[in-house]
Amino acid sequence: AQKITQTQPGMFVQEKEAVTLDCTYDTSDPSYGLFWYKQPSSGEMIFLIYQGSYDQQNATEGRYSLNFQKARKSANLVISASQLGDSAMYFCAMREVGAGSYQLTFGKGTKLSVIP
C-alpha cells in the first residue's frame, strides 16, 4: 500500500484565489512528521511547511497552511492568494519517527498551474 497518496495529478487555480492540494497518508507509527515541498521547473525541492503528529494546531507559514485531520489521515496543503510563481509541482512527504529512520517517503506530486 502507498504510504503517501496525492490523488490530483494536476490542478488549475486562478491568480489570487485559494487552492487545496490533497494528501493522505498511511502509517501505524504513532509518531510521524508530514512535510510539503515545492519543486519549480528548475528542479530544486523547496520546503514549505511541516506538521508533527502530536501538534495540536494546524501549521501555518505565510500563505501556506496545512489542514491536518489526524483521524482521516489527511494533510492537505492550502495556498491562499495564489501567485503566478506558485506554478510548480507540490509533493507531500512523511517521516515515520518510530522506525528510527530519517527517510522521507514522498507522494507522486500534484502539478499546480496558476492562471492569470
Contact 114, 46 (CB under 8 A): no
- The nearest distance, CB 84 to another protein, in angstroms, is 21
Stretch that binds another protein, among 13-21, 58-66, 77-85, 107-115 (CB under 8 A): 107-115
State how far the Cα of 35 lies from the Cα of 94, in Å rounded to an integer: 6
Tell me whether residue 20 or residue 52 sits nearer to another protein (CB atom). Answer: 52
107 makes contact with another protein (CB under 8 A):
yes
Q: Is 91 in the site for another protein (CB under 8 A)?
A: yes
Spatial CA neighbour of 25 closest among 53, 2, 4: 4
Interaction between residue 35 and another protein (CB under 8 A): yes
- What value, to the nearest 5°, has the Cα angle with vertex 18 and ends 17 and 21? 135
